[in-house]
Structure 1
Amino acid sequence: MVVGICVIELYIPRNGSLKGKRQVLQSIKTKIKNRFNVAVAEVGEQDLWQKAILGVTTVANDRSFVNEVMDKVVGFVSSFPQVQIVHHQLELI
């Protein structure tokens, strides 16, 4: 069993409130879950308007499959014009 954990730090430049941040993140999280069948949650910086940290995880039998899914998730998140990826980190256990 291989567990993939990806932490994605986001910058939301055109955001001016926590409500706006929640709307943007909820949309992104729902689309990630539906497309890749992974677990996603906001895991940090909940009180900042223009910064967010998402945690994404998945479990599989094949290490390369987990790595591929996480790479696709990061690429998918980078395709959203509302956010910019500041940093991401992948860990396989």
Structure 2
Amino acid sequence: MFTGTAVFDILLPGDSQSLKTKRSYVRPIVAALRRFEVSVAEVGALDLHRRAEIAVAVVAAEASHVGEVLDNCERLVAGRPEIELLSVRRRLHGADD
């Protein structure tokens, strides 16, 4: 059994001057990531208007499958034209960790 996580640090557009506007950008990203059948949530920069941290977690029998799912999630987030993906932190844990 393997678990993998990815945390996406995102810069939102300049018009994100309220938390309500921020949510209008973050919600569709979170919803789109859920189609990969992963656990996903906004986990950081909650009080900042132009920044967001979204985390994804996946569990699978094979490490390669975990990597594929995280790759797909990263491509989805990086492909969003309205945001800028600043960084991605990934971790993979096996049964022996």
Under a length normalisation based on structure 1, what TM-score does the superposition of the two structures give?
0.94
CA deviation string 1:21-64 (max 9, x = no partner): 11111111011102x11111011000001000011000000001
Q: Could you list the runs of 4 or more consecutive aligned residues of structure 1 that deviate by over 6 angstroms after TM superposition? A: none
Figure out how many residues of one structure are paired with residues of the other and give that number.
92
Q: CA RMSD in A?
A: 0.8
Residues 20-39 of structure 1 aligned to structure 2 (within 5 Å): 20-34=21-35, 36-39=36-39
Unaligned runs of 5+ in 2: none
Residues 50-89 of structure 1 aligned to structure 2 (within 5 Å): 50-89=50-89
Identity of aligned residues (%): 34
2:47 alignment partner in structure 1: 47
Unaligned runs of 5+ in 1: none
Point out the structure with max Rg over C-alpha. 2
2:13 alignment partner in structure 1: 13
Q: How much does 1:13 deviate?
A: 2.1
